[in-house]
Structure 1
Amino acid sequence: MHITVNATPHDIAAETLAAALEELGYANPAIATALNGRFVPKPERATTVLGDGDRLEVLTPMQGG
């Protein structure tokens, strides 16, 4: 399936948001996700089904001073 992650196209085999995050290497538990502009809380990722052409945004925390 073809999706866009943070404005970069990807072809993935995963069917759910949780599986896609694992396939794409997002191991950090402290991330925020939005699918097609809608925030998806962590408990809903395993049941959120992806579709061809979906747009996924993944935000990770940044450290700085």
Structure 2
Amino acid sequence: MNVTINGAAHELPPGATVAQAVQRLTGVRSGVAVAVNDEVVSRGAWESTALAEADRVEVLTAVQGG
């Protein structure tokens, strides 16, 4: 299935979850926020939230700076 992650097209297997999308983009789980189709998905729901064809996923990571 095709989904858009941070503006780029990605092919994921049918039934892929938010957790798999995050793993595809970054190996870290700490300091990461996710929204699917403009709705925030809590970290506790990543494993159980399945993605669908043409979903838009935004994965945001916290960055420290000074």
Q: Give the TM-score normalised by the residue count of structure 1.
A: 0.87
Moved over 2 A (4+): none
Runs of 5+ unmatched residues, structure 2: none
The answer on 1:53 being equivalent to 2:36 is no
Q: Give the TM-score normalised by the residue count of structure 2.
A: 0.86
Runs of 5+ unmatched residues, structure 1: none
SS in 1 for 2:10: strand
Number of aligned residue pairs: give it.
64
Deviation string 1:5-62 (CA, Å, 9 cap, x unpaired) is 111111122611112222x142212200000000001000111010010000000011
> Which structure dedicates a bigger proportion of its chain to helix?
1
Percent identical: 34
